[in-house]
Amino acid sequence: MLKEERLNYIINQINIHNKVLSADLSVQLNVSEDTVRRDLNELTDGGQIIKVHGGAISKSFHYPFSEKEVYKKDAKKEIARKAIELIEDGMVILVGGGTTMIELARMIPESLHCTFFTISPLVALELAENPSLDVNLIAGKLSSNSQILVGAQVISQLSEIEPDICFLGTNGVSLKNGITDSDWEVVQVKKAMIKSAAETVILSISEKLDSSQKMKVCPLDAITYLITDIDPEDESLEKYRKKVKLL
């Protein structure tokens, strides 16, 4: 694979999954980790990504981010629009972090009066713009990579609430491995969120379908809904229909 092809592949993977690990890229590209590190350094110097320990993250996922750098923004808006249909007046709602959750927070109409809990400071700020919402930010250690709050304190607080519904993003979703992620601390928080909620909704751009990360959050049958940017009747979603409700 030519260098330009490697760089394009890396950017594409970061756009889709928000984060990549050098070790994984080394295997996927069949090159040494030194080569991967040089590629990541070049992309970082060019302002296209942000290099972190062990890999890199998307600029669109990292604060402060530019709205024009958000990957698949229109698709994420469509996912958020569908998710709003599940929210009813008076609900207690738990939400994760990420750019799709920010779009969801921005779309909630003022006619809905709900109580929100979130592990994302950025999502909390967006929710707080809506005067009809009661917004609670769960306290914990801020992860510089994922921009959400993690750790034992967060998990303890999540055990004390019983939300009607939980909205979560994902780095990977597949029939075989279910919902997966690449960050151990994030996985533990997501597990606690799913455990606390009566229903869990996964919001995912369609490009993440049939992809897996190395750490498992839960099997598909542990969630209630899967919302993507494509029509729920699309044939590519047929195999998921037996496991989850689609929107």
Whether 80 shows a pLDDT value over 60: the answer reads: yes
Q: Give me the mean pLDDT over the 113-129 stretch.
A: 96
Instruction: Encode pLDDT of 163-178 as tens digits.
Output: 999 999 999 999 999 9
- Show the CA angle centred on residue 237, arms to residues 234 and 239, nearest 5°: 135
- Where does the pLDDT of residue 3 fall: very low under 50, low under 70, confident under 90, or very high at 90 and above? confident
Give the pLDDT score at 238.
92
Closest C-alpha to 129, from 148, 144, 108 = 108
Coil, strand or helix: which one is 202?
strand
Q: What is the pTM of this model?
A: 0.85
In this structure, of 7-21, 56-70, 72-86, the range with the lowest mean pLDDT score is 56-70
pLDDT category of residue 38 using cuts at 50, 70 and 90: very high
C-alpha span between 209 and 232 (Å, rounded): 13
Widest CA span in the chain: 55
What is the percent of the chain with per-residue pLDDT over 90, rounded to a whole number? 69
Higher pLDDT, 4 or 58: 4
pLDDT at 79 over 90: yes
E strands, 89-207, are 92-95, 115-118, 134-137, 141-142, 149-150, 165-169, 172-174, 178-181, 200-203
pLDDT over 70 (residue 230):
yes
The whole-angstrom separation of Cα 29 and Cα 32 is: 9
Using CA atoms, how far apart are residues 3 and 118, in angstroms rounded to an integer?
41
**Once rounded to an integer, what is the mean pLDDT over residues 90-118?**
96
pLDDT at 67: 60
DSSP state of 139: P
Give the H/E segment covering residue 7: helix 3-17
- pLDDT band at residue 114 under the 50/70/90 scheme: very high
Give the pLDDT score at 65. Answer: 55
Mean pLDDT throughout 230-243?
Answer: 92
Band the pLDDT of 211: cuts 50, 70, 90: very high
